[in-house]
């Protein structure tokens, strides 16, 4: 004979797996490019705008007229001087001297294919 009271039932989670193939993504889009000022953060030097192409997540290859035809390996991070901040390419640049830190150009942008201040 059933007892009077409450009955609790515990249900186990159900997991369903599909054997469907993941959709294929075509790599038709070009690597993203950015137009930003270039800085040598270790020595405080700021340079004009350069064009960077992302080579892997967080790593950029930057073209800049000052170092042409060589490319600069860089990351993107804020560059701040006296509270004036903007994103910049922090390049792996050998310091030739120490520069007085100054704000970087906020106006770097593309005009067509050209990166201009």
Distance from C-alpha of 69 to C-alpha of 20, rounded to nearest angstrom: 47
Mean pLDDT lowest for which of 24-28, 90-94, 108-112? 24-28
- CB atoms < 10 A from the CB of 44, how many? 16
Q: Mind listing the pLDDT tens digit for each residue in 36-53?
A: 999 999 899 999 999 999
For the entire predicted model, the pTM comes to 0.72
Closest CA to 53 of 45, 62, 41: 62
The average confidence (pLDDT) of the chain is 80
Distance from C-alpha of 24 to C-alpha of 12, rounded to nearest angstrom: 34
pLDDT exceeds 70 at position 55: yes
Closest CA to 91 of 11, 36, 26: 36
Q: In the chain, where do the E strands start and end?
A: 33-40, 45-56, 59-63, 71-81, 84-91, 109-111, 114-116
């Amino acid at each position: 004979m059933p007892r009077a009271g409450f009955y609790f039932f515990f249900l186990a989670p159900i997991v369903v797996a599909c054997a469907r193939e993941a959709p294929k993504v075509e790599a038709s889009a070009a690597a993203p490019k950015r137009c930003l000022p270039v800085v040598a953060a270790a020595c405080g030097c700021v340079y004009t705008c350069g064009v960077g192409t992302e080579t892997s997540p967080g790593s950029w290859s930057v073209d800049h007229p000052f170092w042409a035809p060589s490319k600069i390996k860089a990351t993107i991070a804020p560059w701040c001087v006296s509270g004036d901040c903007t994103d910049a390419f922090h390049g792996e640049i050998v310091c030739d001297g120490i520069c007085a830190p100054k704000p970087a150009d906020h106006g770097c942008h593309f005009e067509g294919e050209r990166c201009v201040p």
